[in-house]
Each structure stands twice: as structure tokens, then as C-alpha cells.
Amino acid sequence: MRFFRTFLLVGYFCSFAFLANHCGTVHAVPAAQRGVIRAITQIFGEHAGQALQVARCESGLNPHAFNPSGATGLFQIMPGTWNGTPFQPYTWAKATNMWLNTQVAYSLFCEDGYQWRQWACKPSRLDS
């Protein structure tokens, strides 16, 4: 019995040490992306999980992402789409501002009945 308890105790500590050394960086969020995640979470609220999936797919969570087609920012918004939103008064140069880009994306998302019609990337149904 004593051997069994010792075996379990050693196994527990070895498992903990292994996980502490190998899993700590798997879920670490780079400092530059923390602000992006905060902006998306605050603006999209209950839909933040889906929005993070879309933004991660569209731009890699890079607010300065640019596609040769003209799509820009976290949610890869096209200039013509930007101009059709209430945020049109902000110049297109602001498309890389993570807060504005996320607000425009949320506006489009709401206009489309809480659907991701405007984006090529769609959130997985598992995290909806």
C-alpha cells in the first residue's frame, strides 16, 4: 500500500512538472495580440468567440494586415464596404485601427442579422 501511494505521489509531481514545462507556452498570447483580443471581446460581447475565429482566419489577428485585393485590418474590410457603413466619415487610412475595424465589422455583422456573410472565413459551428 505504501509503495502504491508513493508511486501515485511521484506520478502526480512528474506529471505536474511535465505540464508546467511543456504546456505553458501553448496557450500563451503574444503581448501584441492581447489588445486585439480585448477590443474584439468588448465590441462583439457574446459573439466574441466567433469574431475571434473570423479575425484569426482573416488577418492572423494583425490589425495592419493588408491583402492586395484591398481588404485591410483585422477583419479584412474592403474600401467599398467601409464606405457603406456609419464609419464612412473616418478616412480609409483608419481601417488599420483595431478599434474602428472591429466596430465596422460588428456593424456589418449586426446588419447581416448576426451572420458572417461578409467574410470568406466563417467560425466553426463547435464554438458558436
- Of 127, 105, 128, nearest to 117 by C-alpha is 105
pLDDT mean across residues, the chain: 81
Q: Helices marked H in the chain — which ranges?
A: 2-22, 31-44, 48-59, 79-83, 98-111
Dihedral Cα 86, 91, 94, 96, nearest 10 deg: 90
Residue 3: phi, psi to the nearest 5?
-60, -40
Question: Which pLDDT band holds residue 30 (cuts at 50, 70, 90)?
Answer: confident
Question: Which pLDDT band holds residue 100 (cuts at 50, 70, 90)?
Answer: very high
Query: Residue 33: exposed, middle, or buried by beta-carbon count in 10 A (0-12, 13-18, 19+)?
Result: middle
- pLDDT 10s digits, 34-53: 999 999 999 999 999 999 99
Q: Which domains does the chain have, with CATH numbers?
A: 31-127 (1.10.530.10)
Q: Check whether 26 has a pLDDT greater than 90.
A: no
Instruction: Quote the pTM value.
Output: 0.73
Q: Check whether 124 has a pLDDT greater than 70.
A: yes
Residue 66: phi, psi to the nearest 5?
-140, 135
Question: Which pLDDT band holds residue 27 (cuts at 50, 70, 90)?
Answer: low
| Per-residue pLDDT at 8 | 41
